[in-house]
Amino acid sequence: MTALRKRMIDDLRVRNRSERTIDTYITWVANFARHFRKSPELLGPEEIRQYQVYLVNERHVSWSYLNQAVCALRFFYRITLGRDWLIKHIPFPRQPRKLPLVLSQAEVKRFLDAIHSLKYLAILMTAYAAGLRLSEVIHLQVSDIDSQRMVIRVRQGKGQKDRYVMLAPTLLLVLRRYWRAERPSSWLFPGSRKKEQPINYKPVERACRQAALDAGLSKPVTLRLLRHSFATHILEAGKDIRTIQTLLGHSSVRTTQRYTHVSLKTVLAVESPLELLAYSLDPERF
C-alpha cells in the first residue's frame, strides 16, 4: 500500500466513513490515476475534466457512478492533498429526477420464496421487512434484535444516526430459526471465514441478484429496491409520510415524498377524466 493511499484511507476513517465508502473512494481515485498512468498527485484540473468527459462520453456511466467518482476526487484533493482551489474544477453532475423502481407485494413473495439459503433469506427479509440499507443490514448485531419490544436497533445509519425500526413477527420467526442454525455471537450476520467481522456486502448483492433470477423477475432487484418497496408498501397501507421518514432515517421529508409518486394508492385514488366522458367505442369503427 502506498503512503498516499494509506493517508486517504486514514482521512476517511477519522471522518467515520463506512468501509464500503472507503473502498469505493479508493477505487475511483485508483482508476483515475490508472487512466493517465500517473500518480494522482501529479494530475490537475485538465486531467480531471478529461476524465469526467471520458466517463460520460465513452464509458456511459450512470449518474450514481459519476457522482461517486466526483465525490471521491473532491475528497482526495480537498482533504488528503489540501488543494481546495481544485474543487471548482470538479463540479457535481446534475441529478436526474427519476422515480424509484418498486416490487409489488406478490413479487416480493416470489423473491423471498426463491432464496435457498437460510442465512441469505434472513438477511434479505430483514432488509425488506425493516426498510434497511445494505450497510445497516450487514452491521446488525445480535443484541440489536429486541424481541421484547419488537424493534430492531439500527446503529449509526447514514449520517451517523441511531434509530429503531419495527421487528415483524414473521421476520422474528425466521431470525430465530437462523440463530438456532448458525449461532452467531456478536455480528448477527458474520462473514463466512472471519466470524469476528460482519459479512461482506458483495455476496449479499450476489444472493439478491440470483434470487431475482430464480424468481423470474424482470426488474433488477437490489437491496435499495427492497428498501423502496418497503416504503411504498407501508405508504399504500395508510402510514403517513412523517412516520415513513422516521423509519427510513431520512433527514428531509422531501426525500421520503417521492414514494407518493409510485404508490398505487396515490395513482389510483383519482379516476381518469376519460371515464367521465362516458365514451363508448363503436365495434364497427375499426
Is 286 a member of any domain? no
Is 284 a member of any domain? no
pLDDT tier, 270 (very low <50, low <70, confident <90, very high otherwise): low
Residue that has been written with the C-alpha cell 444472493 in this structure = 207
Q: What is the rounded CA–CA span in Å between residue 36 and residue 27?
A: 15
Is 62 a member of any domain? yes
- For residue 31, what is the domain's CATH number? 1.10.150.130
Q: Please check whether residues 62 and 190 belong to one and the same domain.
A: no
Q: Please check whether residues 80 and 111 belong to one and the same domain.
A: no
Please indicate whether residue 19 or residue 168 has the higher confidence score (pLDDT).
Answer: 168
Q: Please check whether residues 139 and 229 belong to one and the same domain.
A: yes
Q: Please check whether residues 72 and 165 belong to one and the same domain.
A: no
Percent of the chain beyond pLDDT 90? 44
Mean per-residue pLDDT over the chain, rounded: 84
Q: What is the rounded CA–CA span in Å between residue 210 and residue 204?
A: 10
Q: Closest Cα partner for 151 from 177, 124, 179, 132?
A: 132
Q: Please check whether residues 75 and 214 belong to one and the same domain.
A: no
Is 29 a member of any domain? yes
Q: What is the rounded CA–CA span in Å between residue 130 and residue 154?
A: 10
pLDDT at 266 (0 to 100): 58
Q: Please check whether residues 51 and 168 belong to one and the same domain.
A: no
Q: Please check whether residues 169 and 206 belong to one and the same domain.
A: yes
**Whole-prediction pTM:** 0.67
Q: Please check whether residues 85 and 109 belong to one and the same domain.
A: no
Q: Please check whether residues 146 and 229 belong to one and the same domain.
A: yes
Q: Please check whether residues 202 and 79 belong to one and the same domain.
A: no
96-139 pLDDT per residue, tens: 566 678 899 899 999 999 999 999 999 999 999 988 999 899 99
45-103 pLDDT per residue, tens: 889 889 988 988 888 888 788 888 989 999 999 899 988 776 666 766 666 566 678 89
Per residue in 156-179, is it b (16+ CB within 10 Å) or e — as a string? ebeeeeebebebbeebeebbeebe
Q: Closest Cα partner for 142 from 158, 157, 128, 126?
A: 126
248-268 pLDDT per residue, tens: 877 666 666 666 655 556 555
> In the chain, how many domains are there?
2
Is 257 a member of any domain? yes
Is 274 a member of any domain? no
CA dihedral 65, 71, 76, 79 (to 10 degrees): -170
Segment 233-249 shows an average pLDDT of 78
- Which residue among 64, 89, 114 closes a domain? 89
- For residue 127, what is the domain's CATH number? 1.10.443.10
Q: Please check whether residues 109 and 228 belong to one and the same domain.
A: yes
Is 95 a member of any domain? no
Tell whether the model's pLDDT for residue 229 goes beyond 70.
yes
Asked if residues 73 and 91 have their Cβ atoms less than 8 Å apart, the reply is no
8-55 pLDDT per residue, tens: 999 999 888 878 889 999 999 999 999 999 999 999 888 988 998 898
Q: Helices 223-236 and 118-130: crossing angle, nearest 10°?
A: 50
Range of the domain at 37: 3-89
Tell whether the model's pLDDT for residue 159 goes beyond 60.
no
How far from each other are the two terminal CA atoms of the chain, in whole angstroms?
A: 72
Q: What is the rounded CA–CA span in Å between residue 240 and residue 261?
A: 14
Is 122 a member of any domain? yes
Q: Please check whether residues 189 and 259 belong to one and the same domain.
A: yes
